[in-house]
Amino acid sequence: MTVIDPGDLFERGRKLFAGPCEFIWAASKIDGLPPMGPAEIAFAGRSNVGKSSLLNGLTGRNALARTSNTPGRTQQLNFFAVGIPGSEKLRLVDMPGYGYAKVSKEKISTWTKLMHAYLQGRAPLMRVFVLVDGRHGLKPPDVEMFDLLDATAMPYQVVLTKKDEVKKSEVDLRIEGVKAGLIKRPAAHPEVLFTSSETGEGMGELREGIMRLLVERGIDA
């Protein structure tokens, strides 16, 4: 069994995301997805969780993913190539935000069908990172997302956001609260990360985790 050096993974993850990264594809319907190709990592979360900010922080860009004060702006699956498009080893997928009450039921139904079809039938998809607002912990829409991921047998991991807005005394409590909600979920990864797009805290660990997935799959990135 090969022993993986966490320090090596941390540095390799940093280098991977310091390289080229750009938007390559958008799909609003399942038949509009890009052809199967490199490994994919998807990011899901409630509409105001800071998903675009996290993607920008993860890749060290200011505007890779559009940020907005209007929840629900991401209305499709957006694909980003990590590396030179055409020869990239990894793609990031920004999924539509969920739990936004002002969106029509028809639109919510369309998004739900798109996400379900994508999660169930996308062979290159390795893991979904579910972003949860660190200020509030798990909410019913997050639990519904866990149910969908468990139903499709898609491995997922929770990433708490906005750590800079959480009191230090509440950080461990928030992490333990999320872990407690994942104990009996078959597709959930037990480790919970806590990040801040403002300070960059936790981004290195997130990159390291993604690099570990690639290495475990035998992908040289």
In tens, the pLDDT along 109-155 reads: 777 888 889 999 899 999 999 999 999 999 999 999 999 999 999 99
Looking at residue 215, its pLDDT comes to: 94
Question: Which H or E element spans position 180?
Answer: helix 168-182
Going 200 to 202 to 203 to 205, the CA torsion angle's sign is positive
**pLDDT over 70 at 192, yes or no:** yes
pLDDT of 221 higher than 70: yes
Higher local confidence (pLDDT), 179 or 74: 179
Tell me the pLDDT tens digit for each residue of 16-57: 999 999 999 999 888 999 999 999 999 999 988 999 999 999
d(CA 157, CA 65): 21
Q: Name which residue leads in pLDDT, 66 or 149.
A: 149
Q: Which CATH architecture has domain 6-216?
A: 3-Layer(aba) Sandwich (3.40)
> Tell me, what's the pLDDT at 69?
47
**Gap between the Cα atoms of 113 and 24, Å rounded:** 22
Q: What is the pLDDT of residues 74-102, one digit of tens each?
A: 578 999 999 999 899 999 999 988 876 56
Is the pTM higher than 0.85? The answer reads yes
Residue 206's pLDDT band, with cuts at 50, 70 and 90, is very high
Nearest to 27 by CA among 108, 129, 118: 118
The phi, psi pair for 84, rounded to 5°, reads -75, 120
71 falls in which pLDDT band (50, 70, 90)? very low
Average pLDDT value for residue range 163-169: 97
Q: Is the pLDDT of residue 104 over 80?
A: no
Model confidence at 2, pLDDT cuts 50, 70, 90, reads low
> Does residue 63 have a pLDDT over 60?
yes
Render 82-141 in DSSP notation, one character per residue: ESSTTS-SEEEEEPPPB--TTS-HHHHHHHHHHHHHHHHH-TTEEEEEEEEETTT---HH
pLDDT for 103 equals: 63
Alpha carbons 55 and 15: distance in angstroms, whole number:
16
Element (H, E) at 186: none
Residue 202's contacts (CB-CB under 8 Å, 6 or more residues apart) are 159, 163, 193, 194, 195, 196
Q: Would you list the domain boundaries of the chain? A: 6-216
